[in-house]
Amino acid sequence: NAVLVQPPTQNRDDLAAAIDRFQLQRHTAIGSGIIVSLATLFPDEGIELEHAMFGSGFSRDGARKGSLDKAPKTEKKEFKPVPPGSFQSAAIILLTDGRRTIGPDPLDAAKMAADHGVRVFTVGFGSAAGGSVDIDGMSIYMRFDEETLKSVAAITRAEYYHASTAAELKKVYEGLNTRF
């Protein structure tokens, strides 16, 4: 799944500590990551990952929402889409070494980002052709979906990058750093 590890900050120490808290997961939730990022950028819009995954009438466990023991939600303000890439206050940088195995479709999430004007720069790390990686004593076959990453970037008027080594990844981030 996707969770917020560190709210947006300019404090490098907090950011480094958040990166150190990352824990490897066995699934890849690209669409979820985009939606959680949008919810963080637009906290007053009521963007909910659960709604994007399961629709408005059901919860994760399949139970019908809206029972009598829940207070009614406050009215959401009306959302009006803006041109893709027009939001200049922030961007999403999506780094992945795998293809989506869980969560909402990344292209649907990209459309949501585009409607908010947010660019999603995508970075495929590793090999689009795939390969085995040893993680915690287990061999896992990993490959990312390059076409989806290119599409997400295109939909949001951003760019796609590929990095097969740590040195290439550092170059990608140095380039992005100069832009923001």
pLDDT in tens, 52-86: 665 544 444 444 444 444 444 555 667 899 999 99
Q: Are strands 160-163 and 138-142 parallel, antiparallel or unpaired?
A: unpaired
What is residue 57's predicted lDDT score, i.e. its pLDDT? 43
Rounded distance between C-alpha atoms, residue 172 and residue 125, angstroms: 10
| pLDDT at position 39 over 70 | yes
Average pLDDT, the chain: 83
Contact 24, 55 (CB under 8 A): no
Instruction: Provide the terminal-to-terminal Cα distance of the chain, rounded to the nearest Å.
Output: 27
What is residue 48's predicted lDDT score, i.e. its pLDDT? 82
Band (136; pLDDT cuts 50, 70, 90): confident
Rounded distance between C-alpha atoms, residue 156 and residue 168, angstroms: 23
What is residue 51's predicted lDDT score, i.e. its pLDDT? 65
What is residue 24's predicted lDDT score, i.e. its pLDDT? 73
Rounded distance between C-alpha atoms, residue 8 and residue 67, angstroms: 35
Give the CA radius of gyration of the chain: 17
pLDDT greater at residue 37 or residue 135: 37
User: Model confidence over 1-16: pLDDT tens digits?
Assistant: 788 888 888 899 998 9
Q: Which of 116, 122, 100 is nearest to 39 (CA)?
A: 116
Contact 144, 152 (CB under 8 A): no
Query: Which DSSP symbol is given to 44?
Result: G
What is residue 117's predicted lDDT score, i.e. its pLDDT? 97
- For the entire predicted model, the pTM comes to 0.80
**Mean pLDDT of the region 146-156:** 96
User: Model confidence over 74-127: pLDDT tens digits?
Assistant: 556 678 999 999 999 999 999 988 888 889 999 999 999 999 999 999 999 887
Residue 128: both structure tokens together: 């689009």
